[in-house]
Amino acid sequence: MGHVSRRLSSSLAVSTAHLKHFPPREATLRTKKATFDPETWAALQPPPPSALMAFANRIGLRAVLTTPTAVQRACTHKSFLDLHARYYPLSPPPPNNANLAVLGNALMGLFASEHLHATYPHLPTRVLKAAVSAHVGPLTCAGVAQEMGAVPLLRWHRQPATPTSPALLHSEALASIPRALAALVYQERCLASARKFVHSFFLNRRVDVRAMLKFRDPKRALMETVAKFQREPPKSRLLKETGRFSNSPIFVVGIYTGADKLGEGFGSSLKMAEYRAAEDALHRLYLTRTPPHVLKLPSSTFGEHADIYKLTDAAPYSPGELGESEALYASSGRSGVLAPRRRAPEVES
Amino acid sequence: MFRPPRLPFGLSSRCRTYATRKPEKPPARFPDPLKNDSNAVVTVLQDDSNLTFIYRPPPSVPSPHSTTLDPASPLLKSPTPSNGSGGPFPPLLRPSSYKPEPERVSREVIEKIRELRLSEPGTYSRTKLAKMFNCTPNFISKIAALRRPQRKQFRGKLEAEHVAVRERWGERKATVVAIRQKRREFW
């Protein structure tokens, strides 16, 4: 099997039944100038309508994506336009998913951040951002597109890095497909349906938020956090120990504020156990989650069958608790925001 | 009174013993942890089934799972009133924690410290000022921080001294220190 036929059979959904002319005239023309590249030709052909409708049925959006052209639009990346214009300059440019992908990205960011913030009200901002990226970021979108089976339907063209833009990767082109689908659901139906789509494909995935919490100095962070909650300063106490002067000691240390134990940690040295106890205390605070039956999302105030420009009768909504923001330390009084440099005022002589 | 080990009366008249014999110890009896557990909750059923239920909670870390309705962190609950009847607490980790906190310094003293530190940081070092005014060097850093270029200068000098010391280490010492630093990453 040659390279072209192998690639055609494995990665591209190409069949010839739906094409108007096969074999293409360019393949059989014998002139000195004309060169026919079967690989490029295969990449330019649209996928068969049966594959497109099978995809729409597979992801459960048959009612939203009613025609093969709608699915094709969602699966065409904007990098494909250059390639198409080069070989078919006279035909109109195919509809692409650039606008839909931007809208869908914004919608997914909205749904993911409101869901995560409502689920973990006390999570630090940087960890919330990392969790949102893990749920609806570019790599996750590409993975979901692969799981949906959109890889043979994607039409794109690899672009090398230019001085103004980075190189276009396959995962980036794939990621545009679920985003475009979210935007299509929003356009054809309503905000609530788009939220349901994003929840079922992205926000039901299990992501380990605990692994994203890393501290530079957990003892100091705990001290600042306890001061923010206006409690007594934390004190470390030795709960259990064994083998103190042996080669494998174990210490269990608890950090207390007054009579309450904030966290517990074990280690092979006193310092290590105290470090882990401080981390445990902060984990217990930051990873407090809202139970699903209590969870209320702000976008539910738009009501069913509504978009953001039309207000309908909103369902009764009681906001969840607003957590304390993370206590900053060692920031030298700056919040991490870069302020523009102020020039020294010119002295008038 | 110390009694030297002897064989039982009947045997001692029939066989020889030696002074180098090892002393006999009574058989070691270890307390049964199942019986001597203060955390155990024992319930004896009163009916004729004659059953005893013993509940022993496992000595493991309390569950870290925390929900907003039942938070695991005491910071999200109201503080338990700390009166004397709470019972004894585990000992503090370090002996220095038992020292009483030093008296808070007044505003005038803070101004004085700032004046001295910012005028001549070389002569009035943090440790010297801490001894003069009965506080800690970290406190001096916080209330009388130097300007950024000066801080960099001092840090650079200190770093140069440390680098000179590190150069003199042998291979074994450097390896041990590197291993310790790597272990620290896995805390």
Tokens of A86: 């080069």
Contact yes or no for A330/A217 (Cβ under 8 A) = yes
Phi, psi for B116 (deg, rounded to 5): -65, -45
**Cβ distance of A258 and B90 shorter than 8 Å:** no
CA separation for the pair A339, A103 (Å, rounded): 30
**Residue A347 forms part of a structural domain:** no
> Using the beta-carbon criterion (under 8 Å), do B71 and A288 form an inter-chain contact?
yes
Domain coverage including residue B181 = 147-186
Pairing verdict, β B41-44 and A260-267? unpaired
Contact flag B187-A275 (C-beta cutoff 8 Å): yes
Contact at CB, B86 and A261, closer than 8 angstroms: no
Q: In sequence order, which residues have a C-beta less than 8 Å from that of residue A185 and are 6 or more positions away?
A: A61, A64, A193, A194, A197
- Cβ pair B75:A270 closer than 8 A: no
B127 domain residue, yes or no: yes
Q: Nearest-CA neighbor of A176 among A235, A258, A121, A96? A: A96
Structure token pair of residue A231? 């409690």
Can you give the CATH number for the domain in which A177 is found?
A: 1.10.1520.10
Cis peptide upstream of residue A23 (ω within 30 degrees of 0): yes
Q: Which residues contact A144 (CB under 8 A, 6 or more apart)?
A: A178, A201, A202
d(CA A81, CA B75): 57
Residue A48 lies in a domain: yes
Residue B98 covered by a domain: no
CATH code for position A276: 3.30.160.20
**For residue A133, what are the domain limits?**
35-210
Minimal-distance CA residue of chain B relative to A253: B93
- Residue A312: inside a domain, yes or no? no
Q: Least CB-CB distance to B75: which of A231, A264, A287?
A: A231
The alpha carbon of A180 is separated from its chain's Cα centroid by a whole number of angstroms, namely: 14
The C-alpha atoms of residue B105 and residue A257 are separated, in whole angstroms, by: 25
DSSP-based three-state secondary structure for A175: helix
Whether B27 is in a domain gets the answer no
Task: Please list every residue in chain A whose beta carbon sits closer than 8 Å to the beta carbon of residue B81.
Answer: 259
User: Is the sign of the CA dihedral A31, A32, A37, A43 positive or negative?
Assistant: negative
Domain count, chain B: 2
Task: Please state, rounded to an integer, the average pLDDT across all residues of chain A.
Answer: 90
Q: Per residue of chain A (349 residues), give pLDDT as tens.
A: 455 555 555 566 667 788 888 888 888 877 777 788 888 888 898 899 999 999 999 999 999 999 999 999 999 999 999 999 999 999 999 999 999 999 999 999 999 999 999 999 999 999 999 999 999 999 999 999 999 999 999 999 999 999 999 999 999 999 999 999 999 999 999 999 999 999 999 999 999 999 999 998 999 999 999 999 999 999 999 999 999 999 999 999 999 999 999 999 999 999 999 999 999 999 999 999 999 999 999 998 887 776 667 766 666 788 888 888 888 887 766 666 666 676 666 665 5
Those residues whose C-beta lies under 8 Å from the C-beta of residue A44, and which sit 6 or more positions away, are A83, A84, A87, A88
Residue A194 in any domain: the answer is yes
Per the domain annotation, does B112 fall within a domain? yes
| A285: nearest CB among B69, B73, B94 | B73
Select from B85, B92, B93 the residue whose CB has the most chain A CBs within 10 Å, as the one to mutate to test that interface. B93
Complex prediction ipTM: 0.81
- Looking at residue A155, what DSSP letter applies? B
Select from A184, A210, A236 the last residue of a domain.
A210
Q: How many domains does chain A have?
A: 2
Distance from CA of A153 to the nearest CA of B (A): 43
CA-nearest of A90, A283, A168 to B73 is A283
Same domain, A205 and A273: no
Query: Hey, which residues 80-99 in chain B have their CB within 8 Å of chain A?
Result: 80-82, 86, 89-94, 97
Is A238 in contact with B76 (Cβ distance < 8 A)? no
Closest approach of A124 to chain B, Cα-based (Å): 16
B62 touches chain A (CB under 8 A): yes
Q: Closest partner residue to B90 among A239, A262, A267, by Cβ?
A: A239
Residues A48 and A156 in one domain: yes
Residues of B in contact with A284 (CB under 8 A): 64, 66, 71-73
H/E stretch holding A103 reads helix A98-119
CB count within 10 Å of CB A109 equals: 17
The interface residues of chain B toward chain A in range 124-183, judged by CB-CB distance below 8 A, are none
Sign of the alpha-carbon torsion through B125, B127, B128, B133? positive
Count residue pairs from A and B with Cβ separation < 8 A: 91
CA distance A56 to chain B (A): 38
Q: Are B62 and B94 in contact (CB under 8 A)?
A: no
Are A178 and A141 in contact by the 8 Å Cβ rule? The answer is: yes
Q: If you compute the radius of gyration of chain A from its CA atoms, what whole number of angstroms results?
A: 28
